Amino acid sequence: MIVLRNVSKIFNARSGPVTAVDNVNLQVEQGQIYGIIGYSGAGKSTLIRLLNGLEKPTSGSVVVAGQDIAQASGEALRQARLKISMVFQHFNLLWSRTVSENIAFSLQIAGAPKAAIQRRVQELIELVGLNGKEQAYPSQLSGGQKQRVGIARALANSPDVLLCDEATSALDPQTTDAILDLLLDINRQLKLTIVLITHEMHVVRKICHRVAVMEAGRIVEEGEVLSVFTHPQQPITRQFVKQTTEYSSADTPFNADLVDAAAGAVLKLTFVGQSTRQPIVGELTLKYALPFNILHGKMTQTANGTFGELWLQVPASGSQLENILADLHAHAISTEVVKNV
């Protein structure tokens, strides 16, 4: 559906050339929800503007639904953009128009018949859950309702690709979850390809199938969300993953440095998928006749499945500890010895 090959974007600033996107290669399959995460200045917003043709790459190709957006111009680019819609962080609604009029706007520009516009607007109002708000103005809506209007408007022309640029950053956590549930529902119902730009790993964890991590214009890590969460390779990825795996500020975070190493080795176990349902600790306790002390644990749900982390302390060392680690490995559980006796 979307293929980027060796894409770079260089801006000419007064201080000299600035490379916003640096030799990016990326592939998004049809029907996927694909997350692109990075901090401010990473290049992710420039990348999304390359996807819809608002920016032309300095080099490389940007192919969306078989059309090279980088090479298209005039009528070809206009037609291509009709199939690539955008949802914005700050809604970008027309404040003098009602909900229905905002949703109808792009259809009116496209020259659709009035009766067809009315049918489509009503379909979309029902899809995004805005029944009863048809004649309301943006100033009368909550942030979540405004974003629902933005999503409905983006879907008006039945696009193949929906681009979301920090679509939940201006919303509170509860509203963010509701909007993410809506996007997930739209993806399932319409089989719509969604590319989601964000700096929040919670957004990626909740609905994305794959994720690319950007830093200084480059993609430094890419893969299935569950794999990236359980085995982050880059320091910046580990930093993002930490956002969603730590306890809230109201809880006391686990600190392995405070555990008395004399009481035994401290192990960090990472469970994925079916292994989260296996009674591994009980089996090890019976097999080795050792007290496995559970220090800390947490389960995390992603769009690809569940993973859990568990810290244990066990009075074992040498070959006995090696045997325990081998048993855990045989159950497809990743294990790290955080502290040894």
* 122 burial level (CB within 10 Å; 0-12, 13-18, 19+): middle
Q: Does 270 or 120 have the greater pLDDT score?
A: 120
What tens digit of pLDDT does each residue of 24-76 get? 999 999 999 999 999 999 999 999 999 988 999 999 999 998 888 988 888 88
At residue 2, φ and ψ (nearest 5 deg) are: -130, 125
The tokens describing 323, both together, are 């045997």
- Longest Cα–Cα distance of the chain, Å, equals 78
pLDDT at residue number 276 = 61
Question: Predicted confidence band at 275 (pLDDT cuts at 50, 70, 90)?
Answer: low
Which residues neighbour 265 within 8 Å (Cβ) at sequence distance 6 or greater?
313, 314, 315, 316, 317, 321, 337, 339, 340, 341
What tens digit of pLDDT does each residue of 311-323 get? 899 998 889 999 9
Distance, in Å, from the CA atom of 107 to the CA atom of 153, rounded to the nearest integer, reads 9
pLDDT at residue number 231 = 85
Q: Tell me the three state secondary structure of residue 338.
A: strand
User: HSE on the CB side for 19, CA within 13 Å?
Assistant: 11
Mean pLDDT confidence for 209-213: 96
Q: Does 300 or 233 have the greater pLDDT score?
A: 233
pLDDT at position 184 over 80: yes
Among 137-151, 227-241, 309-323, name the most confident range: 137-151
**71 closest CA partner among 86, 83, 53:** 53
Q: Helices then strands (H, E): number in the chain? A: 11, 14
Provide the percentage of residues in the chain whose pLDDT is more than 90: 56
Q: What is the dihedral of CA 158, 196, 24, 54, to 10 degrees?
A: 50
Report the mean per-residue pLDDT for the chain: 88
pLDDT at residue number 251 = 46
pLDDT at residue number 248 = 41
The tokens describing 233, both together, are 């390779």
pLDDT at position 261 over 80: no
pLDDT at residue number 256 = 61
Question: Predicted confidence band at 272 (pLDDT cuts at 50, 70, 90)?
Answer: confident
| Domains of the chain with bracketed CATH | 2-245 (3.40.50.300), 256-339 (3.30.70.260)
Distance, in Å, from the CA atom of 213 to the CA atom of 222, rounded to the nearest integer, reads 6
Which residue type occupies 230? T
Strand-strand pairing, 305-314 and 293-302: antiparallel
Distance, in Å, from the CA atom of 315 to the CA atom of 320, rounded to the nearest integer, reads 10
pLDDT at position 138 over 90: yes
Which residues neighbour 248 within 8 Å (Cβ) at sequence distance 6 or greater?
none
pLDDT at residue number 10 = 96
Question: Predicted confidence band at 247 (pLDDT cuts at 50, 70, 90)?
Answer: very low
pLDDT at residue number 249 = 39
| Residue labelled with tokens 């979540």 | 144
Distance, in Å, from the CA atom of 314 to the CA atom of 293, rounded to the nearest integer, reads 6
Q: Does 310 or 99 have the greater pLDDT score?
A: 99
**194 closest CA partner among 92, 185, 236, 79:** 185
Least confident window among 15-29, 157-171, 247-261: 247-261
pLDDT at residue number 9 = 96
Distance, in Å, from the CA atom of 59 to the CA atom of 47, rounded to the nearest integer, reads 13
